[in-house]
Amino acid sequence: MEILNIQDWRISVGNKPVIIAGPCSAETEDQVLITAKSLVSKGIRIFRAGIWKPRTRPNAFEGIGSIGLQWMKRAKEETGILLATEVATPEHLEECLQVGIDIFWIGARTSANPFAMQELAEAMKGMDLPVLVKNPVNPDTDLWQGAIERLQIAGIKRIGAVHRGVSSYDPGPYRNVPLWEMPIELKRRIPDITMLCDPSHIAGNRIMIESVAQKAFDLNFDGLMIETHNDPDHAWTDAQQQINPDQLERMLQSIKLRIVHPEGISYEKLDNWRDKIDELDLQMLEILLKRMEIVHEIGRYKKANNMTILQPERWNNVLMKNIRQSEEKQLGKDLITKIFFAIHEESIRKQTEIMNKKDPG
């Protein structure tokens, strides 16, 4: 895959990353023009606005429709700003091409639908378009990668990814759970892909946007797609997660950018620590191997005595004991819980294999 060239998208002041900013939805011509002009004055090079809005329930505002593209076109003519919007159907794509939209993004609901992705990929076939793919609403890295691969097969070269979190039934501090392991894994699989973060949809409220954006830069993201409105309190959609251009400027000034390989520093200490970690990792693998050997023997014993694989009381005691010990040693409870859930899941898998293996007759 070719790297999506974002050099021309960088804001003009300082060594800041690419920023795509603008309202959740295009609402009126004045709103689009005022917001775009204000963003240009802050050095922003790319203006985003939703034209068609996929809503969960009917009768909600589903976007202003095609007329909003004309407002965006005028904003570009008057300011020179580049334009980005979401497309979900070939018809959306055709309309956007007619007015000169520069960058296209594919939303989380569309990227989760292989049929819709295939239709878009076929409609884009042979075109030289910058396309950004948001992660699917569900936590499935394979599905995200698959959406990107459909565009690759269609010949699209300039492809980027946008992490916007995933939906969750359980209420929590985020509108969409960050699940940072998803973009980390996608980046491992596709090392050269441009990775942006959508902190607006992850946070769901403007108070948390900066902390989410900072986390993204701590993880070496290339930039942000952030919802910015000239009057966010009165926005027609997602008012609580939008900020105004002045707030965006202050946030960008306060965010700390990280460097993968800083110049002029010694890596000797870092390499020594990494060597020690490698040694400990090997020890952990050897301990896990010994543990699984015992699990194997337990499985054989349970089969011989017609015992159930799951022993709830024993499992609860193991988990609670290790959580208590981890807290005493100031290890994170979530870390230990994930580790022991993974170990327990593998133990059940191994014992199930043993229990259902036919004895040689």
| Per-residue model confidence as pLDDT tens digits over 97-114 | 999 999 999 999 999 999
3-state secondary structure of 195: strand
Assess whether pLDDT exceeds 80 at residue 263: yes
pLDDT at res. 3:
40
Q: Same domain for 163 and 307?
A: no
Structural tokens at position 242: 């939008």
Last residue of a domain, one of 205, 222, 254: 254
Domain range for residue 343? 268-355
Residues 159 and 58 in one domain: yes
Q: Are residues 241 and 342 in the same domain?
A: no
Q: pLDDT band for 61, please (50, 70, 90 cuts).
A: confident
Share of the chain above pLDDT 70, in %: 95
Same domain, 108 and 218: yes
H or E stretch covering 250: helix 245-254
Q: How confident is the model at residue 171 (pLDDT cuts 50, 70, 90)?
A: confident
Q: Are 110 and 246 within one domain?
A: yes
- 186, 248: one domain: yes
Residue 260: predicted pLDDT? 82
- Dmax (CA) of the chain: 83
- Give the tens place of pLDDT for each residue, 132-168: 999 999 999 999 999 999 999 999 999 999 999 999 8
The answer to whether residue 90 scores a pLDDT higher than 80 is yes
- Locate the DSSP E strands across 223-352: 223-227
Mean pLDDT of 243-248: 98
Residue 2 lies in a domain: no
SS3 labels along 83-146: EEEECCCHHHHHHHHHHCCCEEEECHHHHCCHHHHHHHHHHHCCCCCEEEEECCCCCCHHHHHH
Q: Which residue has the higher pLDDT, 192 or 298?
A: 298
CATH of the domain at 301: 1.20.59.10
Q: State mean pLDDT over 169-179.
A: 91
Same domain, 250 and 320: no
pLDDT at res. 2: 43
Residue 298 pLDDT grade (very low, low, confident, very high; cuts 50, 70, 90): very high
pLDDT of residue 11: 39
Could you give the 3-state DSSP secondary structure of residue 23?
A: coil
How far apart, in whole angstroms, are the C-alpha atoms of residue 132 and residue 130? 7
304-340 pLDDT per residue, tens: 999 999 999 999 999 999 999 999 999 989 999 999 9
Over range 184-189, report the average pLDDT. 97
Mean pLDDT across the stretch 181-202? 96
pLDDT of residue 60 exceeding 90, the answer is no
- Residue 169 pLDDT: 83
Where residue 136 sits, what CATH number does that domain have?
Answer: 3.20.20.70
> Does any domain span residue 360?
no
Residues 57 and 161 in one domain: yes
Residue 127: both structure tokens together: 């075109």
pLDDT of residue 15: 54
Decide which of 125 and 192 is more confident.
125
Q: What is the mean pLDDT of residues 173-178?
A: 95
Mean of all residue pLDDT scores within the chain: 93
Give tens-digit pLDDT for 211-235: 999 999 999 999 999 999 999 999 9
The answer on 240 and 276 residing in a single domain is no
In a domain, 203, yes or no: yes
Q: Do 217 and 279 reside in the same domain of the chain? A: no
Sign of the dihedral defined by the CA atoms of residues 157, 163, 164, 170, in that order: positive
Q: How many domains does the chain have?
A: 2
pLDDT at position 7 is: 47
* 228 in any annotated domain: yes
Residues 171 and 50 in one domain: yes
pLDDT surpasses 50 at 254: yes
